[in-house]
Structure 1
Amino acid sequence: MQLNRIFISVSLGLLAVSHSVLSQEISSDDSVETIEVMGTYFNDYQVENASGAMRSNVSLLETPQAVTVIPETIIDEQLATTLGEVLNNDASLSPGSKQRNREVFSSRGFELSSSTGYLRDGHQHWSHYQQPIETLSRVEVIKGPSSILYGQSAPGGLINMVTKQPTVAPLLEISADTDQNGSTRFMLDAGGKLFEATAYRAVLVKQDVDFQREYQNGGTRERDRFLGSLVIEHNITDNLVANVYYDRTNDKAGLDTGAWLNEDADVISNENVINDFSWSFTDIAVENIGAKLSYFFNPDWEMKLGYNEQSFTRQRFESSPGLPSDYQSGDSYTSNPYDRSDDWQFKTVYFDLNGTFTLAGVEHNLLIGANGLDYYYGQLIERGDSIVFTPGEIEPAKPDLDFHRDTSLSVTEYDYYGLYFQDLITLDEQWQVAVGGRYDKQNREGADNESLLPKVGVLYHPAENSTVYLNYSEGFEPQSSETIEDELDRNFGMEIDATTSKQVELGAKWQFSEHLLVNGAIFNIEKTGTLISEQLLNDPVFETVTTQSGKQVHKGVEFSAQGAVTDKLFLMASFMYLSAEFEEDENYQGNTPVDAPKWSASIWSRYEVTEALALNAGVFYQGERYADNNNTVLKDAYTRVDVGATYRTHIWDKTVDFRLNVENVFDADYLAGGGINNVTIGNGATARLEAKVSF
């Protein structure tokens, strides 16, 4: 297609330019001394530790669980603008629905909750929106239950987003990128010293997105996003460091709740046309403000105290189209519009005391801590009359709806706290044991819960650069109440229990050639009490039906490799085999959960042709996935191939990087995450070009 020809032309142009520049440098003066460069060998694909996995400075070789760290280098190379684009690099994560300008993911087949599945710098983080990844230095994927350190969390794992921190050295980067749809993003990243003992980091982003799918009236779906972030760090004394930060995100976008599928997994709505009306939108404002104090008693002991206050407000003006049960392409369907306001307030705090000591000849790395959450949610909503619409007709006018007219504020409040400890015990050069536990208490009207959770891991190091480990961990997730609260759910008032989980994992890690980390893991996770919500079709009273499963069992094998293969070739690769099943369930026994592929894989690589030119290639594979828990609709497997190239030069003594990426270079048609009535249509071939200047 035309886009492929454009990419080939530009790539050849970059190669020609680099070859020309090199030729001129070599031939312009034969008397100039030639210096042979044997590659940069800057191993920026591999990270040695993950701060979120053990909440302390412990290497990955001493961490008794599977962890993947996606560094900033890969985020930048892929020109990623959403967290989903970053998480594609780990095969254990599968994408779900992208409806309503947010992203949903599953880890090892278990969906990550917006309230309990994500962390930011170790704080529980409300993530009911697309995360501002321009502020991140890396993303840590922590596999398996992690409740002993963080409290309520899904059995599949946690996503810890680690933010960029102040720099002592001066930093100023300005970049701009665009794609063939007309989308643009402008970014400033600055840092350095403010005063002798004070440093800062600031990030500004302005992004406008034009999406490929259009509305019924031919209008373009657009997104307008602004991000501002500031972090200041001050050394109060040699032992006491204060860190304060503030960031704000404004994100407004037209709505696209996804396409509709029939029993053959064929798109029965027009795959290029959005079923929502062009006047539907979501408008989000998110603020984070917080502080962290770090006190170093001595080189062996450290105390941290952190506080974060997150404010998340959203207006959602919906047309809310519903899929009829016997829908055929071109048939009429009904929309049920409403105007809704959501107000979430997340206040989190933690205290950690971490240190190392020797007792009776045995080394200990001890963590003692506590964390807590204060949660508030308020909702206002005004609903309008139903609209019957036939594709091809003139789009209905925007109804007169205003959530401010709702006088019955719906409020949900609760708080919880937990006390935890963890001890990594080094018995000798070959054997280590990690033990831990947590007491967790939730205070909520009608839904008080408490739990006591253990965790144990055994590590064996057959050599200095390798580890074999076995761990056992548990998870606990109190439900929102003792009964289903949604009045529009058919099972409104049904009693529900807390969700519990446990995992056994056997794994191995090998630091190959000091520059490439290879991981493998076999896991078995059991979860009881999962809430399963299904959309109802043609029901005049209820929108959903929610049930609680008996037991889910997810078994799998993972493998990953990350780092430098040679001094010019860098690699991040992973694959997963997953057997996910409702083992004991009244409605779905023997079935596979939605968007839990049996096979998945990802590869991203960089090859440094010269010091000025680097090439990238990536392959992302998702196996067959069910679009419903009844397992009547099976989405095909797909493979997406991405390519890219970076050329570095100097203009007016400033370093300038030009980057070209093409996502889905072979223009493959595929269905990404989502179910029968909200599946995401994969984007066709998309080219993006960036220019970045470093001062």
Structure 2
Amino acid sequence: MQRSRTSVKVRLGLKLGKSLGLGLGLSVGGIVLSNAAYAEETMTSESEVEVINVKGTYFNDYKVGDASGAMRANVSLLETSQAVTVIPETIIDEQLATTLGEVLNNDASLSPGSKQRNREVFSSRGFELSSSTGYLRDGHQHWSHYQQPIETLSRVEVIKGPSSILYGQSAPGGLINMVTKQPTASRLLEVSADTDQYGSTRFMLDAGGEITEDTGYRAVLVKQDVNFDREYQNGETRERDRFLGSLVLEHKINDSLIVNAYYDCTNDKAGLDTGAWLDEDANVISNRNTINDFSWAFTDIHVENKGVKLTYFMNPEWQVKVGYNEQSFERQRFESSPRLPSDYEIGNSYTSNPYDRSDDWQFKTAFIDINGEVSFGGIEHNILIGANALDYYYGQLIERGDSITYTVGQPEPAKPDLNFNNDETLSTTEYDYYGVYFQDLMTFNDQWQVAIGGRFDKQSREGADNESLLPKVGVLYHPAENSTVYVNYSEGFEPQSSETIEDELDQNFGMELDATTSKQVELGAKWEVSDRLLVSGALFNIEKTGTLISEQLLNDPLYTTVTTQSGKQTHQGVELAAQGAVTDKWFVMTSMMYLDAEYEKDENFEGNTPVDAPKWSASLWSRYEVTEKLALNAGIFYQGERYADNANTVLKDAYSRVDIGATYRTDIMGKQVDVRLNVENVFDTDYLVGGGINNVTIGDGATARIEFKTSL
């Protein structure tokens, strides 16, 4: 009997997987299946035996065909009426990335912001992502006030534009969904170690497999010590000490019910570097390698995430997912808190205002999704009905010390005797919100699809209650099976800090405030040039409205100001991207964005451009496979001119950073070993990354890192 070519590839991939073992074979088998590897088959008329010659590769592909975050289900990107970028684990590993920022460099729509206090800030399409509402982890809202443990991630999804319909309050630029590694069916045990020329080290264990026939696990352990190239005033090196432990268990109760439970813990202690200072010409004041904070300033973070997810398959077409997550974020921050004086010049003194502070954030999230397919009226419907909720708590203790005046060259001041436990007043903030949502992806025929949806959202917060009702509409046209042209309209919202105007001397005192809203119209196209290459483009227009504008009243006998919600911010742009295999040996992930961002109507910044919103940005990461065991990488990351302040008085220069790398696979004592060498900023270019006048991040100089990884 004649077998289909697809079934032959599946059988061959499984056979290769068994023969090579230890997870490598499964990836090769997957490549044979999903990457359309070259195959040639012949059939003898007498025995019907198939003979197949395969040209394979030891390396994984760049292309990803679906995303779970944009539609809250694993929907093909060709059926998603929204721009989405998926950065796979392959690229994360190739770049030896240790922070989320290093991963997000691969999407030009994201621009880096400040890195002060051992955390990272990003903007998407020119809008800053909030640490409380801009990030998801496996679909849960995730508190991201720290550097994320990316060693637990299988991929990162960048969802462009307002996405409040499915997730609630969020910035207009989009969301970052971090998808975690899950238990494996086959045995996995990988160990790796990497280091750089500064003596930084990272050791990692990644293990998975079956505990019993119906129970699998995935465990990750990381120990990292970082030595930075910038030094304190006394010559001491800034250091970072991080530990990560993660465990995921998945148990199949029966054919219809699966339970997934997880726990991870991050301890991250680092010296503080709140960034460099700029003068009016965007030149760094003082030595580029000198930190203005004192060596005794530090931040010590302890984060725990724990949760459970149940998946129930009602029938082959319908399933129910229920998830619950608790995130505990505790931080001590002992600050020297240097302040940039006006007209500061090298040799001048500056003031530091030290304090010891304790922060306690508690995030509790839950969701229920009912998802399935049904056909009626000659139309196929992919329906999602769901609800999600967040319970938020924040508590703060702080003790402040006396100001310190310091002049460069003097001995560093002694660490003040401060302890946040001396604060007897606990400052707290609490609120909760919930939302219910509906989405229907309707397929009329092979060419036309329409996605509609809506959300009702309610926030309960003392002095800032809020309700929102949001629509979403997308129309998709498929001129061919491998291409899509789409247009969408979506909305987002961000609650105000209070529910009314509270200034009694304002003409609109007591007026109820609506949430700040955003609206996007996006026209895009996606084309699978082959099974291994996806190209896409999008035109977008985002308007953010409802910010407060106060105007002075000069001749009014009763009021001094009038405040309205007439603020408006408009971001327009175009994005182009390609991701996958250009040839059998050459792979690329590349993107570019042109952005015109403006405060169209604003009390203070009308006509100006937001901080760190470049007109032009681009990124390229590529791999060329010289042999089956040797691959070379090269990348370039470009950020155009960006303002360091909303007043647009300080303009940072554009920069291009070039990275190179190579991977060689060999056998040592019977074990397969990958040796990885990367050089970041190979030309040692001086550049400024994100941040403002008093907290700009200095780009790292040429940095070489080497990694050894093996499967046991």
Q: TM-score, normalised by structure 1?
A: 0.90
Equivalent in 677, 682, 685 of residue 665 of structure 1? 682
Instruction: Give 1:80's aligned amino acid.
Output: A
Aligned to 2:588: 571
Determine the C-alpha separation between the residues in 2 that align with 1:679 and 1:549. Answer: 31
SS at match of 1:85: helix
* Residue 651 of structure 2 corresponds to residue 639 of structure 1: no
Aligned to 1:499: 516
RMSD value, Cα: 1.8
Determine the C-alpha separation between the residues in 2 that align with 1:494 and 1:331. Answer: 48
Instruction: Give 1:606's aligned amino acid.
Output: R
Contact 2:466 2:514 (C-alpha < 8 Å) held by counterparts: no
Contact 1:549 1:582 (C-alpha < 8 Å) held by counterparts: no
* Residue 485 of structure 2 corresponds to residue 468 of structure 1: yes
| Per-residue CA distance 1:166-221 (angstroms, 9 max, x = gap) | 00100000000000001000000000001110000000000000000000000010
Question: How far 1:38 sits from its partner (Å)?
Answer: 3.9
* Residue 601 of structure 2 corresponds to residue 581 of structure 1: no
Determine the C-alpha separation between the residues in 2 that align with 1:458 and 1:525. Answer: 18
SS at match of 2:421: helix
Equivalent in 557, 564, 568 of residue 551 of structure 1? 568
Aligned to 1:434: 451
Aligned to 2:643: 626
* Residue 225 of structure 2 corresponds to residue 182 of structure 1: no
Aligned to 2:47: none
SS at match of 2:63: coil
Instruction: Give 2:619's aligned amino acid.
Output: S
Aligned to 2:281: 264
Equivalent in 153, 157, 164 of residue 181 of structure 2? 164
Instruction: Give 1:596's aligned amino acid.
Output: A
Determine the C-alpha separation between the residues in 1 that align with 2:485 and 2:60. Answer: 24
Change (3 A) 1:340 1:609: same
Determine the C-alpha separation between the residues in 2 that align with 1:531 and 1:172. Answer: 55
Equivalent in 380, 392, 395 of residue 363 of structure 1? 380
| Per-residue CA distance 1:291-324 (angstroms, 9 max, x = gap) | 0000011211110000000000000000000001
Instruction: Give 2:349's aligned amino acid.
Output: S
Aligned to 2:363: 346
Contact 1:525 1:554 (C-alpha < 8 Å) held by counterparts: yes
> Which stretch shifts more, 149-158 or 38-47?
38-47
Please list, as runs of the form range in 1=range in 2, the aligned pairs for 1:303-382 lying within 5 A after superposition. Answer: 303-382=320-399
Contact 1:609 1:615 (C-alpha < 8 Å) held by counterparts: yes
Instruction: Give 1:652's aligned amino acid.
Output: M
Aligned to 2:295: 278
Contact 1:242 1:292 (C-alpha < 8 Å) held by counterparts: yes
| Per-residue CA distance 1:130-183 (angstroms, 9 max, x = gap) | 000000000000000000000011110000000000001000000000000010
Determine the C-alpha separation between the residues in 1 that align with 2:500 and 2:438. Answer: 33
> Which stretch shifts more, 112-121 or 263-272?
263-272
* Residue 611 of structure 2 corresponds to residue 594 of structure 1: yes
| Per-residue CA distance 1:243-296 (angstroms, 9 max, x = gap) | 000000000000000000011000113211000000000000000000000001
Please list, as runs of the form range in 1=range in 2, the aligned pairs for 1:71-150 lying within 5 A after superposition. Answer: 71-150=88-167
Unpaired stretches in structure 1, ≥5 consecutive residues: 1-34, 486-492, 533-546
Contact 2:209 2:216 (C-alpha < 8 Å) held by counterparts: yes
Unpaired stretches in structure 2, ≥5 consecutive residues: 1-51, 503-509, 550-563
* Residue 240 of structure 2 corresponds to residue 201 of structure 1: no
| Per-residue CA distance 1:348-398 (angstroms, 9 max, x = gap) | 000000001100111000000000000000000000000000000000000
Aligned to 1:384: 401
Contact 1:47 1:69 (C-alpha < 8 Å) held by counterparts: yes
Determine the C-alpha separation between the residues in 1 that align with 2:623 and 2:59. Answer: 12
Please list, as runs of the form range in 1=range in 2, the aligned pairs for 1:50-65 lying within 5 A after superposition. Answer: 50-65=67-82
Determine the C-alpha separation between the residues in 2 that align with 1:495 and 1:399. Answer: 45
Determine the C-alpha separation between the residues in 1 that align with 2:547 and 2:286. Answer: 31
Aligned to 1:478: 495
Determine the C-alpha separation between the residues in 1 that align with 2:548 and 2:133. Answer: 15
* Residue 703 of structure 2 corresponds to residue 691 of structure 1: no
Change (3 A) 1:429 1:167: same
Question: How far 1:39 sits from its partner (Å)?
Answer: 4.8
Contact 1:258 1:678 (C-alpha < 8 Å) held by counterparts: yes
Contact 2:60 2:90 (C-alpha < 8 Å) held by counterparts: no
Instruction: Give 2:69's aligned amino acid.
Output: G
Instruction: Give 2:146's aligned amino acid.
Output: Y
Instruction: Give 1:282's aligned amino acid.
Output: T
Instruction: Give 1:578's aligned amino acid.
Output: L
Change (3 A) 1:279 1:495: farther
| Per-residue CA distance 1:83-111 (angstroms, 9 max, x = gap) | 00000000000000000000000000000
Question: How far 1:36 sits from its partner (Å)?
Answer: 9.3
Aligned to 1:445: 462
Instruction: Give 2:228's aligned amino acid.
Output: F
Question: How far 1:484 sits from its partner (Å)?
Answer: 10
| Per-residue CA distance 1:1-56 (angstroms, 9 max, x = gap) | xxxxxxxxxxxxxxxxxxxxxxxxxxxxxxxxxx9974528662011100001011
Determine the C-alpha separation between the residues in 2 that align with 1:83 and 1:549. Answer: 35
* Residue 435 of structure 2 corresponds to residue 397 of structure 1: no
* Overall identity of the aligned pairs, in %: 82
Change (3 A) 1:427 1:43: farther
Instruction: Give 2:384's aligned amino acid.
Output: L
| Per-residue CA distance 1:565-585 (angstroms, 9 max, x = gap) | 111111100000000000011
Change (3 A) 1:197 1:92: same
Question: How far 1:514 sits from its partner (Å)?
Answer: 2.3
SS at match of 1:298: coil
Contact 1:39 1:568 (C-alpha < 8 Å) held by counterparts: no
Change (3 A) 1:530 1:341: farther
Contact 1:39 1:567 (C-alpha < 8 Å) held by counterparts: no
Determine the C-alpha separation between the residues in 2 that align with 1:496 and 1:388. Answer: 43
Equivalent in 687, 699, 711 of residue 682 of structure 1? 699
Question: How far 1:586 sits from its partner (Å)?
Answer: 2.0
Determine the C-alpha separation between the residues in 1 that align with 2:81 and 2:169. Answer: 20
SS at match of 2:314: strand
Contact 2:228 2:239 (C-alpha < 8 Å) held by counterparts: yes
Number of aligned positions between the proteins:
641
Contact 2:271 2:299 (C-alpha < 8 Å) held by counterparts: yes
Contact 1:261 1:269 (C-alpha < 8 Å) held by counterparts: no
Determine the C-alpha separation between the residues in 1 that align with 2:202 and 2:422. Answer: 37
